[in-house]
């Protein structure tokens, strides 16, 4: 499991001081991006180095407890590897351990120019499998 820290700042909240939900979507996605970077296969290198992209084809979130301005949450990332897909499950927790929200992203590996799904290249699969151990 990979963990990412995110702090809710003034520009992330509505007038009540509660994080505006698109900011939490972005924070969740940033956790996934940071995970990919940490294992040596950052999203931004995939097209040039491997000729593939990993677009999101499905996403969901369920909110449990508000994130307020000044809160720091920890977003855990649990990847699940398929033949042509990568799923990421997220749990965002407050400093007291209470769950703020849970989310899911489903990515599909597609060829850069043809936009059709393909098997995840071994050079990407290897680091992902290592991260699952």
For the record, the structure tokens of 114 come out as 């043809």
CA-based nearest residue to 100, from 128, 70, 68: 68
Inter-residue contact 79 to 128 (CB < 8 Å): yes
Segment 87-108, tens digit of pLDDT: 999 999 999 999 999 999 999 9
Determine the structural domain holding residue 78 and report its residue range.
Answer: 2-132
CA–CA distance, 28 with 19 (Å, rounded to integer): 13
- What is the separation, in whole angstroms, between the first and last Cα of the chain? 9
Residue 65 has pLDDT above 90, yes or no: yes
Q: Percent of the chain having pLDDT more than 90?
A: 95
How many domains in the chain?
1
28: exposed, middle or buried (Cβ count in 10 Å: 0-12, 13-18, 19+): buried
Give the pLDDT score at 7: 97
Helices then strands, each counted (H, E), the chain: 3, 7
Q: What is the CATH number of the domain that holds 57?
A: 3.10.129.10
């Amino acid at each position: 499991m990979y963990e990412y820290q995110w702090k809710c700042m003034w520009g992330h909240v509505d007038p009540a001081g509660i994080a505006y939900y698109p900011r939490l979507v972005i924070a969740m996605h940033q956790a996934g991006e940071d995970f990919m970077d940490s294992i040596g296969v950052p999203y931004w290198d995939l097209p040039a180095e491997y000729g593939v992209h990993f677009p999101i084809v499905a996403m969901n979130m369920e909110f449990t407890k508000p994130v307020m301005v000044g809160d720091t949450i920890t977003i855990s990332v649990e990847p699940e590897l398929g033949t042509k897909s990568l799923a990421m499950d997220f749990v965002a927790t407050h400093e007291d351990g209470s769950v703020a929200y849970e989310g899911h992203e489903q990515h599909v590996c597609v060829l850069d120019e043809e936009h059709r799904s393909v098997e995840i290249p071994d050079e990407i699969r290897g680091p992902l499998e290592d991260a699952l151990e």
